[in-house]
């Protein structure tokens, strides 16, 4: 499958851990981040004029807050890059990045991570994430930086050779940033979805089409690669069809008897977002089920346990789970959540007989805080092998991939 490259979206990035003087606090209200030789490689040094006394290098910027308890925020604005010692030729240059006060920068605290990412058109993303969050870990992996940003800027040029392809994991993180990756196989995708016109088919139909459109891969040969490939193909088909449907709806307009139908537009926009979220979760369940069938694994999908809970998959089935004489050590429960955030705790009560729960996810690079808590709660994460590289070395030995999970279930069912 042909993909785009990270260099299509970014030219360079620098990251650091914010100090007190970098943030808007009672101790510091200067709206500046001290620059360095590292940051100069990204932003340049073409001027020595301060923003309050003359021209400076200004960039269009998008300020982004991601992670933590606060909902994601985005604010358009500008950044100024200048030499604070420009008027004193006897002193060496001291470069500073002057940022605007806005809802994003007002949330910044010492210890948060700042990512300054320059796009190919020189637009800057000013991204702030609290320390220890999933998105911080994911951005560190995406940009190929050190595992933990320090107080000094770390910089990386992003080229086609160094940036790599935009695979499933990279596409996931770009989506969190509000960046929609290109569709390099648009003609193929169009030919696949042509039959649906301007209507979404049932998710099972879409999932089946995604699998049959990739006959060169086999669930029996490599369940980990297959799961990611099927999910990526279905997501690309869905986004392509969604684009057609949304474009047609916009072209028809949102006009009401009294002018613009604002409520109608908002309702339509919300339905688009809800459809995206619901379909990706169902797609993952559909493809997991296809893998279980390919490996001749006995299972029940959506079986009912205690208190009317319905785990996504129960092995070998509901009858065995309800039979008190059936050995507990031969029962397995697998939850399925395409993305986690804090929703993984929902599966802990879904099968009380089973002490260790398993959860399949496609979330790349979860933080160590999250995975440490999962281990403490006897929850085992099942992640396709291709996403393991997005996790830190200390986490990888604990992660289970699809092949290992299938081997465990088959062993229990042979007992």
Residue 166: per-residue pLDDT: 86
The answer to whether residue 299 is catalytic is no
* pLDDT tens digits along 50-62: 343 334 688 999 9
Residue 180: per-residue pLDDT: 84
Whether the Cβ atoms of residue 119 and residue 9 lie closer than 8 Å to each other: yes
Domains of the chain (ranges, CATH numbers): 5-172 (2.40.330), 186-295 (3.40.91.80), 300-414 (3.40.91.80)
Q: How far apart are CA 154 and CA 159, in angstroms?
A: 17
> Which residue, chain included where needed, has tokens 């785009």?
4
154: nearest Cα among 256, 16, 273, 260: 16
Residue 104: per-residue pLDDT: 93
Q: How many CB atoms lie within 10 A of CB 152?
A: 13
- Percent helix, percent strand, percent coil in the chain, to nearest 5: 40, 20, 40
Residue 197: per-residue pLDDT: 93
Distances (CA, A) of 320 to 304, 328, 357, 414: 12, 9, 17, 14
β 357-361/332-337 pair status: parallel
Residue 359: per-residue pLDDT: 98
* pLDDT tens digits along 357-374: 999 999 999 999 999 999
**Residue in 82, 98, 99, 321 annotated catalytic:** 321
Residues of the chain with pLDDT under 50: 47-55
Whether the Cβ atoms of residue 297 and residue 413 lie closer than 8 Å to each other: yes
Whether the Cβ atoms of residue 176 and residue 136 lie closer than 8 Å to each other: no
Token digits for 296? 């001749």
DSSP H or E segment with residue 407: helix 402-414
């Amino acid at each position: 499958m042909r993909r785009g490259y990270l260099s299509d979206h970014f030219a360079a990035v620098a990251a650091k851990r914010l100090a007190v003087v970098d943030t808007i606090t009672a101790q510091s209200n200067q709206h500046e981040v001290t620059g360095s030789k590292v940051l100069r490689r990204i932003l340049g040094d073409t001027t020595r004029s301060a923003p309050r006394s003359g021209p400076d290098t200004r960039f269009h910027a998008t300020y982004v807050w991601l992670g933590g308890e606060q909902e994601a925020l985005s604010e358009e604005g500008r950044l100024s890059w200048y030499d604070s010692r420009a008027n004193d030729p006897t002193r060496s240059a001291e470069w500073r990045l002057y940022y605007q006060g806005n809802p994003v920068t007002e949330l910044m605290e010492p210890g948060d991570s700042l990512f300054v990412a320059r796009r190919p058109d020189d637009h800057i993303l000013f991204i702030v994430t609290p320390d220890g969050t999933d998105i911080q870990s994911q951005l560190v992996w995406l940009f190929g930086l050190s595992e933990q940003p320090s107080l000094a800027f770390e910089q990386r040029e992003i080229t086609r050779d160094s940036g790599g392809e935009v695979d499933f994991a990279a596409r996931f993180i770009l989506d969190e940033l509000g960046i929609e990756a290109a569709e390099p196989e648009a003609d193929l995708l169009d030919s696949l979805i042509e039959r649906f016109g301007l209507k979404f088919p049932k998710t099972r139909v879409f999932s089946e089409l995604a699998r049959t459109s990739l006959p060169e891969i086999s669930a029996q040969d490599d369940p980990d690669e297959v799961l990611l490939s099927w999910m990526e193909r279905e997501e690309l088909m869905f986004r392509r069809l969604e684009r057609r449907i949304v474009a047609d709806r916009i072209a028809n307009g949102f006009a009401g008897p009294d002018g613009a139908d604002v409520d109608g537009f908002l309702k339509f926009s919300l339905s688009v977002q809800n459809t995206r979220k619901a379909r990706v979760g169902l797609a993952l369940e559909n493809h997991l089920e296809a893998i279980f069938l390919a490996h001749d694994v006995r299972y029940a999908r959506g079986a009912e346990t205690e208190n009317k809970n319905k785990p996504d998959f129960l092995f070998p089935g509901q009858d065995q789970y309800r039979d008190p004489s059936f050995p507990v050590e031969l029962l397995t429960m697998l939850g399925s959540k395409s993305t986690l955030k804090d929703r993984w705790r929902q599966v802990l009560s879904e099968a009380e007989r089973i002490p260790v729960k398993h959860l399949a996810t496609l979330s790349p690079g979860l933080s160590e805080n999250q995975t440490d808590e999962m281990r403490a709660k006897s929850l085992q994460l099942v992640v396709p092998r291709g996403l393991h590289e997005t996790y830190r070395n200390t986490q990888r030995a604990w992660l289970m991939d699809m092949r290992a999970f299938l081997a465990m279930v088959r062993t229990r069912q042979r007992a």
